[in-house]
Amino acid sequence: MSEAFHGMVGSSLAMRRVYKSIRNVSPLDVPVLILGESGSGKELVARAIHNESPRRSGPFHAVNAGVLTPELVASELFGHAKGAFTGATTSKKGYFESADGGTLFLDEISTMRLETQIDLLRVIETQTFTRVGGTAPIRSNVRILAAANVDLRRHIRANTFRPDLYYRLSVFPLALPPLRKRRKDIPVLAEYFRQRFVAEFNRPVVGFDQGALRRLRAYDWPGNVRELSNVVIRLVIAARDQMVTESEVIDALHHTALDPQTQTAGTVASDPDALAESVYDDARGDTPMRPASPESPEVDGSDAAGITAGRTIIDVERDLIVATLEQTRGNRTKAAKLLGISRKSLYNKIRSYGLE
């Protein structure tokens, strides 16, 4: 089975930078703010930091603030005293107490209401907290790791997130790239999940054919690694033969997309918050851009788009871009002009089709 770094799989430059950042910050007892889209593996990063740190023998607790009602967040984090509210028949420890000596991972930090943000800021600054309804201060020996799948700076501008808490949490920001920014890792991840689920479900699937791999690489994975894992489960269970085929991948992606009419293999996923986009762009750098992908079919200049019955528009457009880049020897400005689109649109299509 493919090697994994604390459960994370990938050897792209972007992921190697993530691994290096984890190794650098893990020994230092400072807060880390993990930024990444849903499904990109933020909790895996948090667990890796904990397991690489001097606190590895202590507890690790992950709290998803997004699934807790605003009324329960404070009680869950800080605990409550007996009689603090209706139904509090006994005292209860919160996560800050139960994670004593270890690490507390706070996911979806942007969903916390402002009152709880103030309490959290106070814990970070004073290293003490008080249970809800209690009076005695309790010492906190917890390392805090936080995560967000949105740009917190936008929430600060909207006055829904405190800037002082943001600066306290982001002592060391760590941006986790979305899967579409590290396409080199997609076949490796797919194979990792295939081996895992073949063993789990006792299925005879031995691999993916080239068309299947091309489709997997071309898709933008709005659900990131979590979505890829779910698709591979479906492919392993439903495979008609030992090799997963291109048509089977097309079917699986059609069913997994939120909007099958607009989100098919090769489309550009929406990214409304443009989360740490500049960081992801800097981290891309897997391979230098080349006019043609080794997985692309040979293109005859007399029929560059390969327009034949039964081919999808996506295939035709991809081959046309490849042929045009070959004709311009990789000059994207000239290629965009010949294709009648903007240079930015061409860049987006090159990324979405995995032609970098």
Answer with the one of 132, 151, 177 that is the final residue of a domain. 177
Residue 121 tokens read as: 């800021």
Instruction: Say how far apart CA 111 and CA 274 lie, in whole Å.
Output: 18
Residues 185 and 170 in one domain: no
Instruction: Say how far apart CA 187 and CA 236 lie, in whole Å.
Output: 15
> Which amino acid makes up residue 174?
L
What pTM did the predictor assign? 0.72
Residue 264 lies in a domain: no
Residue 302 lies in a domain: yes
Per-residue pLDDT at 118 exceeds 80: yes
The residues near 188 (Cβ < 8 Å, ≥ 6 apart) are 2, 9, 10, 11
Residues 45 and 186 in one domain: no
* pLDDT for position 312: 59
User: What are the two backbone dihedrals, phi and then psi, of residue 103, each rounded to the nearest 5 degrees?
Assistant: -130, 140
Answer with the one of 231, 256, 281 that is the final residue of a domain. 256
* pLDDT for position 49: 98
CATH code for the domain in which residue 247 is found: 1.10.8.60
Per-residue pLDDT at 223 exceeds 50: yes
Per-residue pLDDT at 278 exceeds 80: no
Per-residue pLDDT at 165 exceeds 50: yes
Residues 148 and 21 in one domain: yes
Per-residue pLDDT at 281 exceeds 60: no
Residues 149 and 198 in one domain: no
Per-residue pLDDT at 293 exceeds 90: no
Which residue, 48, 19, 20, 45, is CA-closest to 34? Answer: 45
Residues 167 and 98 in one domain: yes
| Residue 334 pLDDT level (bands cut at 50, 70, 90) | confident
Residues 119 and 246 in one domain: no
- What domain count does the chain have? 3
Residue 202 lies in a domain: yes
* pLDDT for position 230: 95
Residues 113 and 147 in one domain: yes
Residue 215 tokens read as: 């489709």
Residue 271 lies in a domain: no
Domain housing 299: 289-352
Residue 121 lies in a domain: yes
Instruction: Say how far apart CA 235 and CA 253 lie, in whole Å.
Output: 10
Residue 279 lies in a domain: no
Residues 172 and 237 in one domain: no
Residues 228 and 348 in one domain: no
Best-predicted range by mean pLDDT (166-170, 295-299, 327-331, 345-349):
166-170
Percent of the chain at pLDDT exceeding 70: 81
Residues 195 and 322 in one domain: no
Residues 25 and 76 in one domain: yes
Per-residue pLDDT at 274 exceeds 70: no
Residue 7 lies in a domain: no
Residues 236 and 297 in one domain: no
User: How do residues 30-53 score in pLDDT, each as one tens digit?
Assistant: 999 999 999 999 999 999 999 999
CATH code for the domain in which residue 311 is found: 1.10.10.60
User: How do residues 142-160 score in pLDDT, each as one tens digit?
Assistant: 999 999 999 999 999 999 9
